[in-house]
Structure 1
Amino acid sequence: MKRLIPVFALVLMGLVGCKGFLDREPLSEIAPEQFFTSESDLRLYTNSFYNVIPSAEDIYNEDIDNIVKTTLPDAVTGRRTVPTSGGGWDWGELRKINYFLENYNRQGLSSATTNKYVGLAKFFRAWFYFNKVVRFGDVPWYNKVINTTDEAYLTQARDPRTMVMDSVLADINDAVARLATTKSTEEVTKWTALALKSRICLFEGTFRKYHTEFNLPNADKFLNEAVTASEELMTKSGYQIYSTSPDLAYRDLFASLKASPEEVILARKFSSDLQVFHNVNYYTITASYGKPGLEKRLVNSYLMKDGSRFTDKPNYNTLPFYEEVQNRDPRLAQTIRTPGYTRIGNTNKLVPDFGATVTGYQLTKFVTAETEDSYNKSLNDMPVFRYAEVLLNYAEAKAELGTLSQSDLDKSIQLIRQRVAMPALELAKANADVDPYLAAQYTHVSEANRGVILEIRRERRIELVMESYRWNDLMRWKEGHLVADQFKGMYFPGLGKYDLDNNGTTDVVIYEGTKPTEKGPQYLKLGSEVVLEGGKNGGLVLINSNQTKSFNENRDYLYPIPIQERLLNKNLTQNPGWQDGL
């Protein structure tokens, strides 16, 4: 039986496959003398760890400043409050992992049998704690099962971030050493562990570098570990960037029903046979999920096809849609609807639908054929780790360390750009001619490598959009202020008729007063269905202009500890700036 990652129904399939197993105690309560007697027991138990892999919605449903919707998350508006309970302070998955590590070898199984399962447990414990540190900073480190009588552990204070992350690093190194080198998009391998290590260490290294207020040492140690992990994967794994036609490859990578084993290191799997679906098509073509669309500042960040900067054009912010998307980085036309767009399996040319996108820049990444447009009927696998991220991590870590060379760029960023036939990123040119548009956004980059660091951030934002990296990136770079800026969309010079694809047919009409009766165009009433910066005088579409946004630089880089947890454990301190009355 082939396991698909990680769907509760599929874990249950494994349980059903063992006669009588459903009559036993829960996995976390299994007595070791009753279980862990064979490799099949180890495999069955560790399969449950995969349930923590992000859901499809956790991957495609990002809503920070890359993608904007009709409503904004509390993290963007500044309306986060200290929760009474929950809030991400949950430890059930850790208990399962620690239980396994305490008990897997009570029956004396050989190391040849147990090794990869121990590696798997260490992988998931490292990932678990990394996510906790990203969210809360200091957290208690538990490497054993905590029972109700363990008063010392139940009242344990938060351990320093430095100690926890050193333990995370030890776990992920152990996982790398133990896991198999066989490549698989469905199972965690040595390469998955190296990809996770690359991600963890880049985050921690840059967080420590830019967040000087926390006085965290050894930023370079983690950046070097990110380089080492990335380089090992790059030189030994055999992964490569998926590439076909420059005008189709990026689209096809995400629209493919089965994850590409060339590039995708681990994916969340979906199956019509097992009735396991997700909702990305419906999400992008209906008004039911906030009408998501790319934000104007991200659209501006896509380079011209010849590698020059779109924002160097004097009128870049007031170009009509048809003109602004001409001759751009091909990934733009493979991420949103642009003139000439057709659905997979169809030849009808479609323009952006303002009934499904609040900005006018309608998403097409991950969108498959129309047969999957119904609610919760999408089937394409969702990448959790892919090779392009590792290449981006490598280049960024080396740039932050000040050790980046042109050859480093050629074996990382250039491979990503080659997929869509974009010119190479030139180190000397980037540093000599710093992009003022990016420099105005990323305010903490100041060293000699400033120009190339900004260009790598541009590349990262464009390549990984809609894969939910953006919040963590802004947090580690200390650029949270960007989410408080006014979000904007497409440009319109005012009231009137607009031909979005330049084919001689009116696609959008912006009007006042009574809605016109002519059939065909999309009608947007000024001031209600669309808000322009200058009203009748036109301008960029304003999104959520009636909602106040803020980002507290002294508080919002970490989440608060729930009140209930601090009442139960008086030794838990609250994160800076969060007031809970205790």
Structure 2
Amino acid sequence: MKTYKVFAISLLALGLSACNDDYLERYPLSELAPENYFLTAAELQNYTNAFYTELPDALAIHYNTPNQADDEARNTLASEIRGTRETPSSGAGWTWTELRQINFYLENSHKCQDEAARLKYDGIARFFRAYFYFDKIVRFGDVPWYDSVLEIDDEGLFKTRDSRKLVFSNMLEDIDFAIANGQTAKSGQLITKWTALALKSRMCLFEGTFRKYHGLGDWEPILEEAAKASEELINSGVYSVYKSNATTAYHELFIAEDAITSEMILARQYNAAVPYVHSANFYILSASYGRPGMQKSLVNSYLMKDGTRFTDINNYQTMQFFEEMQNRDPRLSQTVRTPGYKRIGSAETSVPDFATSVTGYQYIKYVLASTFDAGQSTNDMPIFRYAEVLLNFAEAKAELGTLTQADIDKSIKLLRDRVDMPNLDLQAANSNPDNYLRTEYANSTKGANEGVILEIRRERRIELVKEGHRYRDLLRWKEGARLEKPFYGMYFPGVGQYDLDKDGKLDLVIYEGTTPTRLPGVQYQKLGELVLENGTSGGRIVNLPDILKKWDEQKDYFYPIPTQELQLNKNLTQNPGWDQTGT
């Protein structure tokens, strides 16, 4: 049974559980009189509780594009994927309200005489300042650094953009403070020392690899910080990879009513009683919201159950659904519908529904029983997960060239052990790099460590699919051009009748011309509405074949600064390639 829901409550109001609600009623958050507040531990807690709304919600985690990037095809695409972004007049992420609230708190928390409480909540505030600026440098690169509250006439409002290196250096100071002063007791809903280590692991991996692949220099010390933060969390023994049964454990993580805190470091929590619910079932299974489906390239990336490469099989490109799903990494059948799939609460097997999945590879990750289909899901959603930290550790060490088999054994192996998959072998990966992955990542590091870097990218893509990481991964690896590639789905040899799961019953008819007489329980897809790459000769499903997707290597790694901001502050400069005046 769920108890205190800090995220939901923070969304509804600031400090509902406070002992001093009268102060908050008298002084709204934006108008607090500091001489009358920040005096007790409860007041520091109340104020910092509001910062949790900065964290992503379920929609951002599992659905929003471009977060899913090239993992997922839909019939509606974000402007980042289509290459149709324009310079906006305002907004677009260039907002600073949350930062002002954080700095306002830090300027006034010293009024509390309880030093232990002040250090704890200052640590939380500085965690959120680092988190805030992490988003800003990902979106914009260089941004102004502010660590104090500025009034309307303050000259600091009109400063130039500080370099990302200066901003990141200040972020490191903030996150190190949060680590040093965070509570050591585990909590799936509150910021702790361990959450701060997870954020440091994430932001240092991003920044270090971004600098490396974009030629910015000074990347090695940042990746060393990523590895150290990850290893500190690993060696603490506080978290572990959740295990139950190899065929269910991975899936169980994402359908749990309460976050499984042996592995979930921080989760967005949901509760029907508040009410605070999300719509994962609806967005994944409805025909109205893009009909999301896993892309063929990702399906191809899953290894065979014995650890060999699926893409080394001669006819892998023309395998049909039933055959290609046999003897694969068990995470595949715990992420999308595969033959024999039974929905939670149902005794009947279900094949993929082409009315709600454009590729045929239909997600089951996050999907609950049908009683939640109307948009009332309450399973908690991952924000920081121990699995990510393990992957961050392995990748940082691989990019530095210091990865050992012992490092793999304490990171990647744990994820594969969960699903009874063979361990990654460092020497074998580097002696025989996967040519399929080479074509997937044109800019990957060449040389002695190429093979294992590619394998870690494979592992990351599979383990973290639909958790909101993929777009940023492509940005930092300088692989944005992958977004130009067509979206492919299942392979079909052409028009005809298909028993998708080989249970002896007809499941799908692909036809031309007049609609055949419809049989109950059978799906009908007209060729042309369902597009095959070779037309009547068959091939992979092609999603949105008439929509041109573009990626501009000169500008699309950053978002444009809104023109209104450039007009208000003449010291600001636009990001390269974006128009200074709004087109």
State the TM-score, normalizing by the size of structure 1.
Answer: 0.97
Aligned counterparts, 1:144-543, within 5 A: 144-150=148-154, 152-212=155-215, 216-374=216-374, 376-444=375-443, 445-519=445-519, 520-528=521-529, 530-543=530-543
Matched with 2:115 is 111
1:181-210 residue CA offsets vs partner (Å, 9 max, x unmatched): 000001000000000000000000000000
Offset of 1:225 from its aligned partner? 0.1
Q: Distance in 2 between matches of 1:97 and 1:321?
A: 51
> What is the CA–CA distance in structure 2 between the aligned matches of 1:9 and 1:176, rounded to whole Å?
23
Is contact 2:41–2:114 with CA below 8 Å preserved after alignment? no
Deviation at 1:237, TM superposition (A): 4.2
- Structure 1 residue 443: Cα displacement: 1.4
Which amino acid is 2:362 matched to?
A: Q
Residue deviations 1:492-513, cap 9 Å, x none?
A: 0001001100011111111111
Partner in structure 2 of residue 75 of structure 1:
80
Aligned length: 575
Q: Does structure 1 retain, via aligned residues, the 8 Å contact 2:208–2:222?
A: yes
Q: CA RMSD in A?
A: 1.3
- Contact in 2 for aligned 1:481/1:553 (Cα 8 Å): yes
Match of 2:101 in 1: 96
Q: Are the equivalent residues in 1 in contact too, given 2:130–2:175 (CA < 8 A)?
A: yes
CA distance in 1, matches of 2:379, 2:26: 35
Cα deviation for residue 28 of structure 1 reads: 3.3
Alpha-carbon distance in structure 2 between the residues aligned to 1:372 and 1:499: 29
Deviates more, 1:537-546 or 1:510-519: 510-519
1:114-148 CA distance string (max 9 Å, x none): 11000000100000001100000000000000101
Q: CA deviation at 1:8?
A: 5.4
- Distance 1:240-1:565 versus aligned 2 partners, 3 A rule: same
Residue 138 and residue 13 in structure 1: after superposition, are their counterparts in 2 closer, same or farther (change >3 A)? closer
- Aligned match for 1:44, one of 43, 46, 51: 46
CA–CA distance in structure 2, aligned partners of residues 468 and 115 of structure 1 = 31
2:497 counterpart SS class? strand
Matching residue's letter, 2:531: V
CA distance in structure 2 between the aligned counterparts of 1:346 and 1:509, rounded to whole angstroms = 25
Task: Judge conservation of contact 2:281–2:366 (CA < 8 Å) in 1.
Answer: yes
Amino acid at match of 2:26: R
Within 2, Cα distance between the matches of 1:228 and 1:134? 22
Give, in angstroms, the shift of residue 3 of structure 1: 3.5
Structure 1's unaligned 5+ residue stretches are none
Q: Flag as ranges the 4+ runs of structure 1 deviating above 3 A.
A: 8-11, 15-19
- The residue identity in structure 2 corresponding to 1:248 is T
> What is the rounded CA distance, in whole Å, between the counterparts of 1:504 and 1:396 in structure 2?
45
Q: Distance between the aligned counterparts of 1:49 and 1:86, measured in 2?
A: 20
Counterpart for residue 577 of structure 2: 577
Distance 1:4 1:219, change over 3 A: same
1:56 to 55, 58, 83: 58
Letter in 2 for 1:418: D
- The answer (yes or no) to whether the contact 2:434–2:451 under 8 Å persists in 1 is yes
CA contact (8 A) 1:15 1:22 kept: no
Distance of aligned partners of 1:534 and 1:284 in 2 relative to their CA distance in 1, 3 Å threshold:
same
Instruction: Kindly indicate whether the alpha-carbon contact (under 8 Å) linking 2:61 and 2:466 is maintained by their aligned counterparts in 1.
Output: yes
